[in-house]
Amino acid sequence: MASVGSRSGVAYDARGLVEPHAEMPGNIEIDGVRARFDAADLSIRQINMALRQLIYKDGISDVTVLNPASKHSLAVGILKRCRIHFEGSPGWFACGLIDGPEVTINGRVGWSLGENMMSGVVMVERSAGSLTGAAIRGGDLIVKGDVGARTGIDQKGGTIIVGGSVGINTGFMMQRGRQIICGNAGENLGDSMYDGAIYVAGKVKSLGVDCVPGEWTDADTEFINRKFRVHNLGAPPTFEKFVCGKQLHNYDSLEPSERKLVI
C-alpha cells in the first residue's frame, strides 16, 4: 500500500476563522479504491477530514477506520455511495445525515446513531445507545445487540432492525418507516405514533398512547423475510405487529406536497 503524506495547510471555517487540528493525517494507506487509517491518535476533525478527502476527492470507495475509540460525530453527512468500515466503537452521533454509504461498525456505538439518515445501510455488530435512528428518513439501520431508549423517535422512513431489546419510548411520534425488534420493548412503545409499523418478537412492557396491535398481512412476512435475507440475519423469529390506532390526531398520511395536490 502506498502512504499518503500529510496535506497540511491552514483551514478556515465558513466564518473565516482558523480551524484547529485541520491537518490531514499522514498514516493513510491506499490500495486502488481502498484505503485504511488508524484513528487512535487523530482528532474528530482529522478523521472526518480524511474520510471526506478520500471519498469525495481521491476516488476511494472503500475506507476502513481503525480504532475510532468512541470519538463523537464520525462519518456524519457523507452524501455519496461508498463503503465505510469502523474497526472499533465510534461514540455519539455516528453516521448522522448520511445519504448513500454502506457502513459497518465492528463495535458498539453511543447515542444518536444514524440520526436523520437519508439512505444507505448502517450495520452495528454490538449494541447502541439511546436515540438510535432518531428522525431517520430512509435506508436500513441494523444493530445486532441491544439499543437504549427512544429508538427511532420521530422516524420518518427507512427501517430499523434491532437484534436485541429496546428501551422506553421506542417509536415515539414515528411518522413512517418500520422497526423490527427481535427482543423485548420497553414502556410506551409507539407512543403518539402517526404511521409506520413496529414489529416486536419479544415482550412489550407497555404500549404508548394510540399504539395498537396491527393486522398481519403477507406483505409484512415478505418484507421481514427480505430484510433478513438481504442483510444475512438468519431466520427471522415470529413477530407481533403494532401500528397507530389513529384515534389521537386528526391527520392524514400525505406529504405536504401531496396534500397540496389533493386540496
Partner 1 sequence: MCGIAGVIHRDGTANIGAELTEMLQAMKHRGPDSTGYAVYGPDDDLVVIRFVLAEPSNSTGFGMEERLARNRLEVEARLAKIGAEVATVTSETGYAFRAKVRYSGELKPLADYLEDVPGCEVLSVGNSLEIIKDLGDAATVSEQYGLGSFHGTHGIGHVRMATESQVDLASAHPYWAYPFADVAVVHNGQLTNYHQWRRRLEQSGHRFQSECDSEIIAVYLAEQLTAGVSLETAMKESLDDFDGVFTYVCVTSNQLGIAKDEMAAKPLVLFESDDLVAVATEEVSIRTLVKREVETRDPYEREVLVWQV
Chain residues that interact with partner 1, rule: CB under 8 A: 69-72, 88-89, 91-92, 107-108, 110-111, 126-127, 129-130, 146, 148-150, 167-169, 186-187
Min separation Cβ 129 and partner 1, Å: 5
Min separation Cβ 125 and partner 1, Å: 11
Nearer to partner 1 by Cβ, of 88 and 120: the residue is 88
Nearer to partner 1 by Cβ, of 101 and 110: the residue is 110
Distance CA 246, CA 234 (A): 34
Nearer to partner 1 by Cβ, of 106 and 119: the residue is 106
Min separation Cβ 145 and partner 1, Å: 8
Distance CA 34, CA 218 (A): 41
Min separation Cβ 90 and partner 1, Å: 9
CA-closest candidate to residue 54, choices 10, 114, 7: 7
Min separation Cβ 242 and partner 1, Å: 19
Dig out the grid coordinates for 178 from the structure.
Answer: 418500520
CA-closest candidate to residue 143, choices 90, 195, 193: 90
Q: Where are the beta strands (DSSP E) in the chain?
A: 2-4, 28-31, 34-38, 62-66, 83-87, 99-106, 119-124, 140-143, 156-162, 176-181, 197-200, 211-213, 240-244
69, 88 contact by CB (below 8 A): yes
Dig out the grid coordinates for 151 from the structure.
Answer: 429508538
Min separation Cβ 119 and partner 1, Å: 27
Query: Residue 75, CB half-sphere, CA atoms under 13 Å: how many?
Result: 37
Min separation Cβ 238 and partner 1, Å: 24
Nearer to partner 1 by Cβ, of 60 and 179: the residue is 179
128, 143 contact by CB (below 8 A): yes
CA-closest candidate to residue 208, choices 184, 186, 191, 231: 191
Nearer to partner 1 by Cβ, of 205 and 241: the residue is 205
Nearer to partner 1 by Cβ, of 73 and 159: the residue is 73
Distance CA 148, CA 109 (A): 11
Nearer to partner 1 by Cβ, of 125 and 240: the residue is 125
